């Protein structure tokens, strides 16, 4: 069963109970969720839709980032939810495996709630017939369950979407409050 509006709402409510300071920044998500209902998981919901990302944090304080081919930006592994995803954390795990080859048996989820929920604008893409829209990115924290200190043999990039990967020290991440949240769990 695809991700439901109820699952998204319960996740947002629990997240906001832990992070009440994010209420204003998540207002567009809550408003779109009220309007879109169960289509909130569809990439064809152009008011905005949910996506899921994986913040994989090594014991040495480095976070896995990928260079996204279409956007030419360094991002966390992640992307759109699919009908086969039953939870947002499942979607983040699937995206991590698809984009990097790092599978769910090589990582452990650090909690049921996202570390951060980011709202950002995606530019229009005329080739795909997509207008400018919002992504509501649920970023979950994972820790390696295997030795990922030098994972070159584990990483297998999905070259259609990803051009490179890098392990960045958490203090070099630039997006707030994500950076601060990652730093707080590295201590």
At 118-137, the pLDDT tens digits run 999 999 999 999 999 999 99
Residue appearing with tokens 């795909």:
128
Architecture of domain 5-186: Alpha-Beta Complex (3.90)
CA distance 24 to 16: 10
Indicate if the pLDDT at residue 148 is higher than 80: no
Determine the length of the chain: 187
Tokens of 93: 């795990």
Q: State whether residue 24 is helix, strand or coil.
A: coil
Find the mean pLDDT for residues 100-126. Answer: 92
Band the pLDDT of 11: cuts 50, 70, 90. Answer: very high
Pairing label, strands 133-144, 78-80: unpaired
**CA–CA distances in Å: residue 75 to residues 45, 49, 150:** 22, 18, 19
Q: Which two tokens stand for residue 138?
A: 């649920």
C-alpha span between 147 and 127 (Å, rounded): 41
Confidence of residue 186 (pLDDT cuts 50, 70, 90): confident
For residues 14 and 115, the answer to whether their CB atoms sit within 8 Å is no
Residue range 64-98, pLDDT digits in tens: 998 887 777 888 999 999 999 999 999 999 999 99
pTM passes above 0.95: no
Domains of the chain, by residue range, sit at: 5-186
- Residue 149's pLDDT band, with cuts at 50, 70 and 90, is low
For residue 20, say if its preceding peptide bond is cis, omega within 30 degrees of 0: no
pLDDT class of 162 with cuts at 50, 70, 90: confident
């Amino acid at each position: 069963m695809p991700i439901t509006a109820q699952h998204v709402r319960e996740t947002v409510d629990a997240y906001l109970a832990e992070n009440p300071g994010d209420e204003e920044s998540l207002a567009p998500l809550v408003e779109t969720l009220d309007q879109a209902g169960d289509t909130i998981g569809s990439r064809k919901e152009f008011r905005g839709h949910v996506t899921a990302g994986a913040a994989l944090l090594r014991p040495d304080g480095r976070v896995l980032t990928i260079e996204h081919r279409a956007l030419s930006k360094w991002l966390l592994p992640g992307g759109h939810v699919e009908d086969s995803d039953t939870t947002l954390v499942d979607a983040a795990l699937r995206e991590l495996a698809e984009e990097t080859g790092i599978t769910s048996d090589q990582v452990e989820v650090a909690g049921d709630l996202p570390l951060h929920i980011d709202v950002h604008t995606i530019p229009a893409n005329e080739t795909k017939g997509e207008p400018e829209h919002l992504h509501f990115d649920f970023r979950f924290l994972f820790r390696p369950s295997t030795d990922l200190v030098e994972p070159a043999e584990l990483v297998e990039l999905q070259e259609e979407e990803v051009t490179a990967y890098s392990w960045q020290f958490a203090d070099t991440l630039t997006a707030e409050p994500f950076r601060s949240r990652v730093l707080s769990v590295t201590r």
